[in-house]
Structure 1
Amino acid sequence: MNTKTDFLIIGGGISGLTLAKKLAFLSPDDNILLITKENLEEGSTYYAQGGIASVWNESDNFEKHIQDTLSAGDGLCNENVVRKILTQAPERIKELIEIGVQFTRNDTGDYDLGKEGGHSERRILHVNDQTGQNIEKKLIESVNKIQNLEIKEHWCAINLYAQNYKCYGAYVLDQETGFIHNISAKATILATGGAGKIYLYTTNPDISSGDGIAMAYRAGATISNMEFYQFHPTCLYHPYAKSFLITEALRGEGAILKNVRGREFMQDYHPSKELAPRDIVSRAIDSELKKTGDDFVHLDIASYKSPSFIKSHFPGVYETCLKFNIDITKDPIPVVPAAHYCCGGVMAEINGATEVKNLYVIGESACTGLHGANRLASNSLLEGVVSANECAENLALLSSDLKIKEFEKWEPGHAVPSTEAVIITQNWDEIRRFMWNYVGIVRTDKRLQRAKKRINMLLDEINQYYWDFKIEKNLVELRNLATVAKIIIVSAISRKESRGIHYNLDHPNKSEIRNTTIKRPW
């Protein structure tokens, strides 16, 4: 079935929903279709705990926020992009407040500004420790009132339809019926988030399989700086606690990292100790675990804050840990680093424009130059709302000049229903394990070459499977996951230095300042 829409948005997190809301307002005569492969709530935005960074009080200023961001980015940030995004923060946050987001206030009635690693001032607006969840809910309430917006949940994008560096829409699987739609649009916008499920341990939900990055790569877009995958230092270590992030705000309020014998160790690695940038804290924990042979370290807030403070400021962390018999008002929290955020992505302008005409990419899927070699904490939600706003304004201006062009329907060929689902499970597990062991927090040339050999072999298997069997979501995700894994590996091999998140024991020093770019070989 050929479906036409003026604008096709793929992804329902903070970027996709903000874009839909703004674009519907600016282009009321255009139809907008937003699709997401799960429920709207099931995305990284919903699970974001910490907050959104913005200069907000008199002791802070934009220059401080800019310099903190540039410092974290370790030489690879685009300063013009940094300035443009950060200076829009107060205005974009006021728009969130207008739709009902109630950021936490302190006893004086002012916003309770948090402080996180790499920040020189308190500037993190938050809703206790459930910021993303509250933002997502208010955005969903807001977009559900829009007349010229249609939302389809459980619709999974399979691939973009692009020719000669021009995008015409996408092939999309309706998971409930198994039907594949070819959706034609004036412009297609990818807001699909990151690829955390590429690693064995991650803070991301299961849907984070790099779909947008992989589809854009196949369409001819340039992918940049994918070797810079950020690992969050503190993910709850428990056999039944799946992907639960322990917010950095705990360390901002005085929580201390200790080994299981109770020794504090961050002073051995950085003068800022627990508030050092994430890459440094993650490597410090990794180093301690390798030295001690332990499976985790402890994060201790109980020794430094009262039970009432902990329960009021971190209700989500408190309640979740309690489910696993960990009372954080009394006991330290067992934590390990986990894959958290993709600092690279599809090379794009702030407004999402890519070199593929009519294809836009915003949010975590994009590489705009804001994050450089390492993202500053709580800058990601900010980038999502700013880039969505810029994208909406740009598309509204161009709308009258854009045309919809239909393209051929999906041809299944001789594909048959799969009888070998175990292959998908096995390949997925194998990729996640060798990516964690070979392309993780600490890398070596030998590990990276081993990873390259493994992914090349697996890609051959997966591509054969893709064409032999009927399309289903798990197969689409596995193909995308493997594609992005290959891009990360090749990018990491090409960077013969250590910078930001990318740390290679064989190249421990910095060398040339450059961006890594990967394009599909035609």
Structure 2
Amino acid sequence: MPELNTIKVDAVIIGSGLAGLLLANELVAAGRRVLIATKGKLLESNTRYAQGGLAAVLKDTVTDSRQAHLKDTLKSGAGLTDAAVAEQIINGGAALVEKLSSLGVHFDKTSAGAPSLHLEGGHTSPRVLHSKDTTGKTIAEGLAAALTAKAADEHDLNRPVIFEDAFALDILHFQATPLAPRVATGVLILTDKGIVSVAATYIVLATGGAGQIFTRTTNPSVATGDGIALAARAGAKLADLEFVQFHPTAFCKEGQPAFLVSEAVRGQGAILVDDRNHRFAFDFDKEGELATRDTVAKAIHQTMLNRNLDSVFLDLRPIGTAEEIESKFPNIVETLKKLGVDATKEVVPVCPAAHYYMGGIATDAKGQTSLVGLYALGECAATGLHGANRLASNSLLEAGVMAMSLAKHINSQSFKAIHYKKNAKLTEAWLAHCRPFAVPTNRDALKSMMYKGAGLVREAKGLTQLQEQLDAISIYKTGIDRYERESANMLLVAKLIAKACALRKETRGGHVRSDFATPNDSAFLHHITFEKGAWRTQSIAAAPFISTERAVSLARP
């Protein structure tokens, strides 16, 4: 058994994307003791790979407003967006941009000094702030620099603790009585020096998505659904697990990565064509290439089937001259050249790839889960903002506004006693009775099964077969091997997605069923949730979490 160490902090944050880094900066600035752990390097997250930008209305004008942004978000969400949550997050956009600016993150401006705004699919006005085509990288680097500067200050007794290459094994939790709520007390983290048991008042999951459970994904290697699996094992409520967004335009060439070609290029004039050079997107929707992502992805998929194609083609040349294209999208042009395509001179082969997870851990707008003390932020959370299909560039908005809301909540609270002794007992019990866990016999097989059976288009026979296949490749292990633990998280999330896809017998947003090709509001205008082994339906009007104020009072010993 690896060496065991213990540590006590006010807040432990798992994940280092926009949500995790911003929350850490805000809590440290307010005098809170913080530990942030990431399983790769501090800059390795889904945030870093976000190209398009951050959707936000900084000020209501005659051409755009927060209400218009809300209307676009509701339309994209296909009936499952929580309007109250969406309004709260959208209204927080201007403050988020101001906060990021104060931490050294700056967005592009026009020659007149005004914010440069892109138009993206599903938006009725240009409102996407950006930093060329590497917006996520700019945000991640700015926030990481601010946090590491605080960590490097040896004179600051409250400097944050940063764990890199650290893997979260499990959330520690207890239930005082059968009627009392479950309380999270800490988290076990595997580091290169052994296991660290971190006791904290606030345990925050900011672990990103789960794209790596599919063969084709735009996500980095760290996106294996860890936070969702941690929450599921702890008994937290999950929601909307069937809704995976497949980005329409990922580079599509055998043997090459599914590099994301940002939606912003279509907002600037790029078009989609088939092998006949026919601009087909308008055959499916009057908005053409600027329809919502689910619509464009389905149009590409159907065109590939109709024409027996391995891909369709994205033509950036309508944007302007080669110099103009390179000036607006330098990273995209440079990366595509490395992949063998000069986007300033020729069309780019593209097809859909797993990109973003609308489902996840059920929370409110500040990240509170159904467990006292456990929070989830960003992509691993299911707030109801995205509904059945995320509107372009609302992801960074959500992650940032949620982080600011949770920071405000925590910093408004008095310093609370940490369940240190209870956490120590739970740690001892976990290590003494390390339960067997299911892992796939072959990760690549799992990813291939998921892409085929629960990819962009699903149907009953394929989903039944998928669930049987996932069970067939499951074997049980014990121990603390990181690769096996990560594989177990992937398998658990894959099984949850497959089951949720089978339960929703309709097509809605990012969930497409070939055997139930249309929405069915009378039977399925609700959320599907999973909690403690049970699947349930939940009204779109119901909050996805328990009353936290009452829960806290019940949970205290």
1:145 to 139, 144, 149: 149
Q: Does 1:517 align with 2:534?
A: no
**What does residue range 5-154 of structure 1 map to in structure 2 within 5 Å?**
5-26=9-30, 28=31, 30-56=32-58, 58=61, 59-146=63-150, 147=156, 148=158, 149-154=160-165
**What does residue range 448-487 of structure 1 map to in structure 2 within 5 Å?**
448-459=463-474, 461=475, 464-465=476-477, 467=478, 470-487=479-496
Contiguous gaps of at least 5 residues in structure 1: 417-422
2-structure distance, mates of 1:83, 1:353: 18
2:340 to 325, 329, 340: 325
Q: Does 1:339 align with 2:358?
A: no
2-structure distance, mates of 1:411, 1:316: 46
Equivalent in the alignment of 1:155:
166
Paired amino acid for 2:519: K
SS across alignment from 2:241? coil
**What does residue range 186-335 of structure 1 map to in structure 2 within 5 Å?**
186-239=201-254, 241-335=256-350
SS across alignment from 1:145? helix
Q: Could you tell me how far 1:403 is from its partner in structure 2?
A: 2.2
Q: Could you tell me how far 1:487 is from its partner in structure 2?
A: 1.0
Equivalent in the alignment of 2:543:
none
Q: Could you tell me how far 1:259 is from its partner in structure 2?
A: 1.3
Q: Could you tell me how far 1:304 is from its partner in structure 2?
A: 4.2
SS across alignment from 2:118? coil
2:185 to 158, 168, 174: 168
SS across alignment from 1:133? helix
1:173-199 CA distance string (max 9 Å, x none):
11x33x122211112100000000011
Equivalent pair of 1:168/1:358 in contact (CA under 8 Å): yes
Q: Could you tell me how far 1:137 is from its partner in structure 2?
A: 0.4
Paired amino acid for 1:170: V
Paired amino acid for 2:528: T
Equivalent in the alignment of 1:419:
none
1:111-150 CA distance string (max 9 Å, x none):
2100000000000000000000000000011111324211
Distance 1:291-1:19 versus aligned 2 partners, 3 A rule: same
Distance 1:309-1:425 versus aligned 2 partners, 3 A rule: farther
TM-score normalised to structure 2 length: 0.88
Paired amino acid for 2:221: D
SS across alignment from 1:260? coil
Distance 1:98-1:229 versus aligned 2 partners, 3 A rule: same
Equivalent in the alignment of 2:153:
none
Greater Cα offset, 14-23 or 390-399: 390-399
Paired amino acid for 1:515: H
1:424-451 CA distance string (max 9 Å, x none):
7852111111111111111111111111
Q: Could you tell me how far 1:324 is from its partner in structure 2?
A: 2.1
Equivalent in the alignment of 1:506:
515
2-structure distance, mates of 1:153, 1:304: 41
Equivalent in the alignment of 1:420:
none
1:312-363 CA distance string (max 9 Å, x none):
1000001111112311111111111100000011001111111111111111
Q: Could you tell me how far 1:8 is from its partner in structure 2?
A: 0.6
Equivalent pair of 1:257/1:299 in contact (CA under 8 Å): yes
2:369 to 333, 348, 354: 354
- Equivalenced residue count is 506
Equivalent pair of 1:4/1:404 in contact (CA under 8 Å): no
Paired amino acid for 2:500: S
2-structure distance, mates of 1:195, 1:226: 11
Q: Could you tell me how far 1:458 is from its partner in structure 2?
A: 2.9
Q: Does 1:366 align with 2:369?
A: no
2:431 to 392, 395, 411: 411
2:444 to 404, 421, 429: 429
Q: Could you tell me how far 1:394 is from its partner in structure 2?
A: 1.4
CA RMSD of aligned residues (A): 1.8
SS across alignment from 2:40? coil
1:31-50 CA distance string (max 9 Å, x none):
11000000011110000000
Equivalent pair of 1:442/1:504 in contact (CA under 8 Å): yes
1-structure distance, mates of 2:12, 2:148: 17
2-structure distance, mates of 1:299, 1:107: 29
TM-score normalised to structure 1 length: 0.94
Q: Could you tell me how far 1:207 is from its partner in structure 2?
A: 0.4
1-structure distance, mates of 2:518, 2:239: 21
Q: Could you tell me how far 1:107 is from its partner in structure 2?
A: 2.8
1-structure distance, mates of 2:414, 2:303: 55
Q: Could you tell me how far 1:92 is from its partner in structure 2?
A: 0.7
Q: Could you tell me how far 1:56 is from its partner in structure 2?
A: 3.4
Equivalent pair of 2:185/2:418 in contact (CA under 8 Å): no
Q: Could you tell me how far 1:488 is from its partner in structure 2?
A: 0.8
1:67-90 CA distance string (max 9 Å, x none):
000000011011000110001101
Distance 1:68-1:414 versus aligned 2 partners, 3 A rule: closer
Paired amino acid for 2:167: C
Q: Could you tell me how far 1:5 is from its partner in structure 2?
A: 1.7
Q: Could you tell me how far 1:268 is from its partner in structure 2?
A: 1.0
SS across alignment from 1:194? coil
